[in-house]
Amino acid sequence: MTPAEHATHLTALTERLTARLTEETRCFEARRPQDVAAGVAETQEMANLYRRETARVKADRRLLEDLPTAERDTLIAATQAFEAVLARHNRALEAAKTITEGLVQAIAQEVAAARAQGAGYGAGGRAAGVDGRAVTLNKTA
């Protein structure tokens, strides 16, 4: 593959990944994370391919050596757009995570409050019946 072909391939991959993350960000910002679930595996596969390709370029600079200015500028622009979308995606994902963790904590607190607080003793000196089921809460989603 020539440097120009390699740059074209990397630019196309970067643009596809950017478009995918843009759509996922839109879903997170619309508070519809469930719309992202179906495509998570494909996004991960694309992100891994991008990671491998950029690692190859970093390890062997000759892959993009003597690249014409137009192709270089196109790749730089695609990479800058990707980084901006990635930052926005990260913020939206963190917000969704925070909201989810808050909901889980609120539900767990309601369950704990609804449970009998103290068992005590009933008539005849026997311990009062208590719900023996345990509720475990991990404070991170």
- pLDDT tens readout for residues 101-122: 888 888 988 887 776 565 566 6
Which residues partner with 121 through β-bridges? 127
What's the DSSP call for residue 8? Answer: H
pLDDT, mean of residues 44-69: 92
**Residue 83 structure tokens:** 């980084």
Amino acid at 72: R
Burial of 34 (0-12, 13-18, 19+ CB in 10 A): exposed
For the segment 11-55, what is each residue's pLDDT rounded down to a tens digit?
999 999 999 999 999 998 998 888 998 999 999 999 999 999 999
CA distance 92 to 42: 19
Q: pTM above the 0.75 mark?
A: no
| Residue 137: predicted pLDDT | 56
Contact 89, 25 (CB under 8 A): yes
pLDDT beyond 60 at 7 = yes
